[in-house]
Amino acid sequence: MRDDVKFPFGQTMIHPETGALLSRRRRMETVQYMGLSRTVEVEAYWPEDDGDGVLVGSDSDTLEEAFLALRAEYAANMRALAKDLRRKTRLTQKEASQLLTGSPNSFSKYERGEALPSWPTALLMKLIADDPALMEKIRHG
């Protein structure tokens, strides 16, 4: 805990919705994004139980940094997955795009990191990358 910083409510405050007493302390919180997660330490006003706390000012910076890191990791995973799927199925970007998304340029955008596939498309891509023979079923109905 930082002694040199003045907190707007001192070391304690009352939760504005629950009325619970909150104390200024650190607690581990898990941030999740698209199936990925990261646990970080967050300093804020927390109740004694596992209930909701109140974050003030820069208290949410650690959570925001974790979220942005997870988002970047997910985007990198999707770029690699798109390339891996195409390599394994020997499809062009245009063919993969038309067969899996109906859009002519989606795989180009996925591989350049300009767009992310929807969750169902990402799941389908994972299934096909694991079993490229599925692409023939998609291609020929």
Please state the length of the chain. 141
Record the pTM. 0.79
Other CB atoms within a 10 A radius of the CB of residue 78 amount to 21
> Which long-range contacts (C-beta less than 8 Å, at least 24 apart) are formed by 6-11?
7/56, 8/56, 8/57, 9/45, 9/56
Sign of the Cα pseudo-torsion (59, 64, 70, 72, in order): negative
Query: Tens of pLDDT along the chain (141 residues)?
Result: 444 455 666 789 999 999 999 999 999 999 999 999 999 999 999 999 988 999 998 999 999 999 999 999 999 999 999 999 999 999 999 999 999 998 889 999 999 999 999 989 999 999 999 999 999 888 887
| Terminal Cα distance for the chain, rounded | 61
